[in-house]
Chain A
Amino acid sequence: MPMTENGEFRPLIVAFCCNWCSYAGADLAGSSRLSYPADVKIIRVPCSGRVNPMFILRAFERGADGVIICGCHPGDCHYTSGNYFARRRMTLLFSMLDYIGVENGRTRVEWVSAAEGAKFSATMNEFVEKIKSLGENVRLGDLRCKD
């Protein structure tokens, strides 16, 4: 289990951010110096609709403790409708993961606009706290039969 020297659990969190809103929101969080834990690593995608469920499962497979997808607010998608499709896909995928007993707090979708640097930072802080409270991703780890 990844720990710092003082024994604190440091989760591994993958954030998929759409280029137009959320990635820019993350940039704004940066230029406004609104900190959030380094546990969050951002992958830039053109649109939340680009996020294939396979990517999320892949992240969990490779040991991620939480995965968050950020996109433009409904109605504001740069490509008109990508976030709507993402919303349905992710709802169903998350529901399935919940159904097989994976903690539903490990997955999250948040709409963050380019102007919402503060929201981006607050969301990431909150998500990291949530994942810390859930601890390591043992259940998907168990499915992984990790020894």
Chain B
Amino acid sequence: MSLTMAEKQAEQIRQISGSDPYKCMKCGKCSASCPSFNEMDIKPHQFVSYVVNDNIEALAESKSLWKCLGCFACVERCPRDVQPGRVVDAARQLVERQRGGDHLHAEDIPALLDDDVPQQLLVSAFRRYRR
């Protein structure tokens, strides 16, 4: 039995995240905790069910990938240990690992800087927004 592309990608997300989306009981505590909820088109709890339903294409196009702050509030509070933040991050990586998947391009950066920008901001943004 061969897997469809979407199934393969969903499996990849499970692998990269090390998270088991089937443990989710759809309580929504991740979305209740998320500081970026209002910036996201697909909400944290939806990420989990999108992976269960192999709906990866929608995730790949979601702007939520770039709005997650990586603050682990969802991971800390999830009662089912699903670690939604890792699922979001894995979806992000899936996109970035593809050719041309970088969200941030080197040539755009100088315009984004000011004198006070700490290195920490640059390196974290690089790691989150580029392969």
- Per the CB under 8 Å rule, do A and B touch in the complex? no
